[in-house]
């Protein structure tokens, strides 16, 4: 039986929350004891440069992500655990992949499209507030995945497109140079495909609607009290389900 490579990473921006845990950490910890697998978990510090503004903030967040991984049970004896910026080959591969990636594929990336749509609503330049780090973000993520010939990537539903793009880029490369790169697959747990935040939208640091992993009791109580709930009667249909998972 061939050995499978399984990889996932977390971007060090903002405080770690339960969406990070269920989307990336928990699936990887469950994979950790499987035989015939190699595991890679990393802190995606270069990805954070699209939003993080100071070196001190980036350093602090990077150590926090690493600490959370270890506190949740990651075993460095079983998993190759690293910081993205410590592997220069990732960025070399990104440059190579960028020369094979159609611009149209990047135009369809969710993060870029979200900003473009907002710019159109505001009737300003479509590329306002778009830098090349954000635009090429999926190519760097593809390099993260493909550098280790990854077979499976545990992700939340919101990250599925990034694995799909990595798969497309791997196929572009292989069609030109032969079957060099492994074509990856996403692994999404149905029960936690999308973790809903305090306001009913997807839990995200960008929306400021997260439940932090290591809040103290008072902060956690205050956070939970913000969750939007449904005031309809017990026998009436529920219109809000952001704290109910079936």
202 is catalytic: yes
Q: Which of the following is catalytic: 205, 222, 226, 238?
A: 205
Q: What contacts 205, CB < 8 A, 6 or more positions away?
A: 13, 14, 15, 17
Q: Which of 65, 75, 68 is nearest to 45 (CA)?
A: 65
Of the candidates 26, 78, 160, 202, the residue annotated as catalytic is: 202
Q: Among 123, 152, 190, 222, which one carries the catalytic annotation?
A: 123
The stretches of the chain forming alpha helices (DSSP H) are 18-20, 26-31, 55-71, 88-98, 103-107, 110-121, 132-135, 137-146, 160-177, 217-224
Give the whole-angstrom CA distance, residue 208 versus residue 131. Answer: 23
Structure tokens at 14: 């903002």
In the residue annotation, 123 being an active-site residue is answered as yes
Catalytic center residues = 123, 202, 205
């Amino acid at each position: 039986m061939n050995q499978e490579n399984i990889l996932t990473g977390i971007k060090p921006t903002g405080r770690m929350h339960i969406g990070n845990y269920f989307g990336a950490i928990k699936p990887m910890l469950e994979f950790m004891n499987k035989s015939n697998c190699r595991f890679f978990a990393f802190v995606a510090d270069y990805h954070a440069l699209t939003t993080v503004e100071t070196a001190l903030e980036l350093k602090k967040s990077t150590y926090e992500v690493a600490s959370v991984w270890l506190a949740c049970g990651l075993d460095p004896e079983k998993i190759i655990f690293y910081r993205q910026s410590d592997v220069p080959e990732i960025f070399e591969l990104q440059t190579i992949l960028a020369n094979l990636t159609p611009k149209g594929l990047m135009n369809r990336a969710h993060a870029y499209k979200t900003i473009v749509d907002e710019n159109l609503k505001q009737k300003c330049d479509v590329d306002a507030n778009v830098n090349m780090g954000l635009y090429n973000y999926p190519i760097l993520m593809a390099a993260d995945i493909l550098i280790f010939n990854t077979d499976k990537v545990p992700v939340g539903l919101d990250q599925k497109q990034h694995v799909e793009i990595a798969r497309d880029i791997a196929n572009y490369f292989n069609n030109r140079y032969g079957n060099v790169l492994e074509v990856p697959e996403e692994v999404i747990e149905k029960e936690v495909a999308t973790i809903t935040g305090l306001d009913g939208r997807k839990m995200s640091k960008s929306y400021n609607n997260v439940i932090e992993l290591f809040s103290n009791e008072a902060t956690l109580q205050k956070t939970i009290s913000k969750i939007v709930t449904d005031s309809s009667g017990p026998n009436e249909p529920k219109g809000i389900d952001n704290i109910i998972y079936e």
